[in-house]
Structure 1
Amino acid sequence: MKKLNVLFLSMLTLATVTSCSNDDDNSISASIVGEWEYYQEGEDLDDLELWEHESIDCGKDYIKIQKQGSSGNTYSYESSYFYTENSECKEETESGTFTKNGNIISEVYDGETYTNTIIKLNESTLTIKEVDEEGTWYTVYKRK
């Protein structure tokens, strides 16, 4: 479960793959609320790999993000991961909450705080960057 939460934060931190030459490409110009399919991941924004959906026939892995309450900066999420077991489609879900302040996302999990940075957020793309003791990881999502 911790791996999935950390993976979510990693992915949530890597919102978009863009060139630095266009300031609009690196902006936060949309709401994070919605359903986001996992699209790409990797250690380098210039060399991301497509997300390996374990069972594309069952569905694409995604995250659903909702605002908590009418004010404030707290959000809930539910991550869905699809796989096949004994020729049957299965879905594993995980949920939690996080706070968003500007382009910083924070989640407390098992007493530890995980902080990630939104690199890009627009109507179609969310890119999140996670930095921890193991290095830097980017995750890119596409709006579902």
Structure 2
Amino acid sequence: MKKIFYLLSITFIILQSCSSDSSDTNVSSSQLVGKWEVFQVGEFPPGTSINSSTPLMNFQFECSTKKDNYQFGSQGSFKAVTYNSSCAEGGGIGTYTKTDNFINVYQNNVLQVTWEIITLTNTTLKIKETTPNYIMVSSYNKI
């Protein structure tokens, strides 16, 4: 049930619509460019202190042969790719901007979500999204 919630919440945010203590956030935007496979996720109550060592749970993929991912292009293109239990592809496309340690994702020039970067290296992306009801933290591996 939780894996469905995480998958739906990530997809919903992309299609619909706090501070960090890590020194890994002040990096070049070029490190963000590429394909990032979701690895771990966690949901926390508002006000929870989140940092680079906050424990997360392994993400449970709906499709056993394909992995959900985000794709950040060098010219600001963005694609969210999700797979359901039948391994049919879903998701959405849009654009993104990275400013300091924030990523803004847009669809049809309308801001859909803002993620705060907790960690960004050549191999790891850990982001958090803060809403009035929860804090969602997701970790990705570059593939």
Q: Same-fold call, TM > 0.5?
A: yes
CA RMSD in angstroms comes to: 2.7
Whether the 8 Å CA contact 1:5–1:94 is kept in 2: the answer is no
Partner of 1:134: 133
Alignment equivalent of 2:11, drawn from 4, 14, 23: 4
Partner of 2:83: 82
TM-score by length of 2: 0.69
Please give the alpha-carbon distance, in whole angstroms, between the structure 2 residues aligned to 1:5 and 1:67. Answer: 24
Whether the 8 Å CA contact 1:104–1:115 is kept in 2: the answer is yes
Percent identity between the two aligned chains: 26
What code does the residue aligned with 2:67 have? Answer: K
Secondary structure class of the residue paired with 2:73: strand
C-alpha spacing 1:84/1:63, structure 2 compared with 1 (3 Å): same
Question: Which structure would you say has the larger Rg?
Answer: 1
Q: CA deviation at 1:114?
A: 3.0
Cα deviation, 1:47-83, whole Å, max 9, x if unaligned, reads 31111110122x1111111022xxxxxx221111123
Whether the 8 Å CA contact 2:104–2:111 is kept in 1: the answer is no
Structure number with higher relative contact order (C-alpha < 8 Å, ≥ 6 residues apart)? 1
Partner of 1:119: 118
Q: CA deviation at 1:7?
A: 5.7
**Structure 2 residues not aligned, in runs of 5+:** 1-7, 16-20, 45-49
Aligned length: 120
